Structure 1
Amino acid sequence: MPAPPEPPANGFSLIEVMVALAIFGMAAVALVRLSGLSLAGAVHLADRQHAATVARNQTLDAILSPAPPTADQGRERAGLRDWPWQRRVLPGPVPRTAIVVVEVRSDAGQVIASDQLLWSQP
């Protein structure tokens, strides 16, 4: 008696489907992690931008004031939070000048942004 004819191999075997699903699952998990890291990076960059804006604002306030700049500290709102800043005034490279340095710190005390400008007496 002749052997029954073999069915044509037109589809995928169960093992091939399982391997494909496993590869797709790993790729999907990697994409989800990547999007989470991307979001965290965007939040960090936005915080740095707000802190840099606060530093520049406080430096310009000191420079544009009619009185000579003085050391000071305070908080300024930028974005959705208040940023603590500290301004120092250092001697300049020539007489009648000063270097105004402003640092903006995180709540943990880490410097996030800083700015400095040279002030000269008119």
Structure 2
Amino acid sequence: MPARANGFSLIEVMVALAIFGMAAVALVRLSGLSLSGAVQLADRQYAATVARNQTLEAILSPTPPAADQGRERAGQRDWAWQRRVVAGPVPGTQLVIVDVRGDAGQIIASDQLLWSGR
């Protein structure tokens, strides 16, 4: 009867290392995607804050809101915003719409409020 060898064969060790290596690469990639998603979420939150700030500023102004554009600092960057004013659903009201755009010109956040002169 042949003697049984204790331990793992070279093939078994190589397969185990390959599986471990693939799992490690997947975890590293997942953490990178998670970090990227967190950065995008933070940018959206800053953009939404800028949009709300500009909308409230227009609403709280003693004069009727007017179309405008500008830049506001939030977080680590300046955000470009554009305010539009259109007729509201009720006579004597205006809908104030603020869009905040990213570096590529895409709208990242938008906010709107109804202004009434009453």
In 1: Cα distance, 2:103 partner to 2:80 partner: 8
In 1: Cα distance, 2:13 partner to 2:53 partner: 60
- Which of 94, 112, 116 in structure 2 is aligned with 1:116? 112
Q: Establish whether residue 16 from structure 1 lines up as the match of residue 12 from structure 2.
A: yes
- Which of 78, 85, 98 in structure 2 is aligned with 1:82? 78
1:29 alignment partner in structure 2: 25
Say which SS state the counterpart of residue 60 (structure 1) adopts.
helix
Q: TM-score, normalization: structure 1?
A: 0.93
- Which of 60, 66, 70 in structure 2 is aligned with 1:70? 66
1:61 alignment partner in structure 2: 57
Number of residue pairs matched by the alignment:
118
Q: For structure 1, list consecutive stretches of 5 or more residues without a partner in the other structure.
A: none
Say which SS state the counterpart of residue 19 (structure 1) adopts.
helix
Say which SS state the counterpart of residue 57 (structure 1) adopts.
helix
Identity within the alignment, %: 81
Quote how far apart the aligned CAs of 1:36 are: 0.7
Q: For structure 2, list consecutive stretches of 5 or more residues without a partner in the other structure.
A: none
RMSD: 0.9
Say which SS state the counterpart of residue 64 (structure 2) adopts.
coil
